[in-house]
Amino acid sequence: MTEWIQNKVTPPCAESRRVGQERQNQLTKPQGSLGRLEGLAIDFAGFQKTPLPSLQHIAVRVFAADHGIARAGVSAFPQSVTAEMVRNFAAGGAAITVLAHLHHADFAVINLGTAEPMELLPNVINSSLGAGTHNFSEQAAMSPPQLESALRIGRDSCPANTQLFIGGEMGIGNTTSAAAIYSAMLDMPAELSVGRGTGIDHAGLIRKQRCIEKALALHVRADTGPQEILRCLGGFEIAALVGAYIGCAQRGIPSLVDGFICTAAALVACRLNPSVKPWLLFSHCSAEAAHRSVLRSLGALPLLDLGLRLGEGSGAAVAIPIIQAALTLHREMATFAEAGMSVA
């Protein structure tokens, strides 16, 4: 049962935010001169219910799964790359594993269903729901029980002592799934939602658009809700991300949302449970063209715009030092009184 996704989320602590703002106003700088860094410190004061927040415990979970839509030729890479990348994560050779190690994060990969069976690997949790989803241009991507399980696996993926959750994803074909979700939820034409993903050529781009148009005609009506859109067009890993964002918010844990695919999950999570939104931070604007429009629809202001389009949670991991700098400045800068300075 998925009733839990509707459970109300307690908002960040307003009193801690107020006291945090007061401290920012007293630090030895002109008010507002640290820009977004000031807002980040105040956000974390609310998240952690303390005017002096810190960030030591970061959890990174990469959800991996294959997509039936990949067999329609929508990716520049073969479907076998999903399993190969899971092995690369386990060996520590991927961008997100390097960055997670750099930041001493609690790291794990959760395999929700690769087309190729996976052996036991270090830091990989096998929770397979099938050999990938179905081709959503022909039938619903997953069954209701598969969707329920994926949401629950995501919900339960974050350790209890986490101060910041980062979700990543891996799955050949998942930019097509994310673009289809954007088109369905934002009434966005496929030619606007679809990008080149892993680097497909023009013919591949057209195939990708046509697959999404066919899927929208097959699955989406004016009254189709976000959960059904996720079931019909999503992937196991995208559904797990939805569950993770909702579950973390319900436990008072903020999530730093990665790029194009993770933002699709965030969009679904916010539509399913709008009280999740205050617990989401957005790390960067992807090089995928539609991402900027989707962020705007969420009222989200990303921390970075570096032309990133790798996924895996890598853009979110790159943004961690910015948050740590904001919190360290907030805690350790002197106030005017502490510095013995007078202000007019």
Q: Rounded to a whole number, what is the largest CA-CA distance in the chain?
A: 71
Dist. CA 60–CA 162, nearest whole Å: 10
**29 CB-contact burial (10 Å; exposed 0-12 / middle 13-18 / buried 19+):** middle
Helix (H, G, I), strand (E, B) or coil at 235: coil
62-71 as b/e, with b when 16 or more CB fall inside 10 Å?
Answer: bbbbbbbbbb
Dist. CA 68–CA 246, nearest whole Å: 26
**Residue 228 known to be catalytic:** no
**274 CB-contact burial (10 Å; exposed 0-12 / middle 13-18 / buried 19+):** exposed
Which residue is catalytic, options 38, 148, 169, 312?
312
Label the pairing between strands 255-257 and 280-282.
parallel
- Read off the amino acid at residue 28: T
Contact 53, 38 (CB under 8 A): no
- Read off the amino acid at residue 141: A
Dist. CA 190–CA 74, nearest whole Å: 13
- Read off the amino acid at residue 116: E
Dist. CA 21–CA 13, nearest whole Å: 12
Beta bridge partners of 62: 109, 168
Residues with catalytic roles: 312
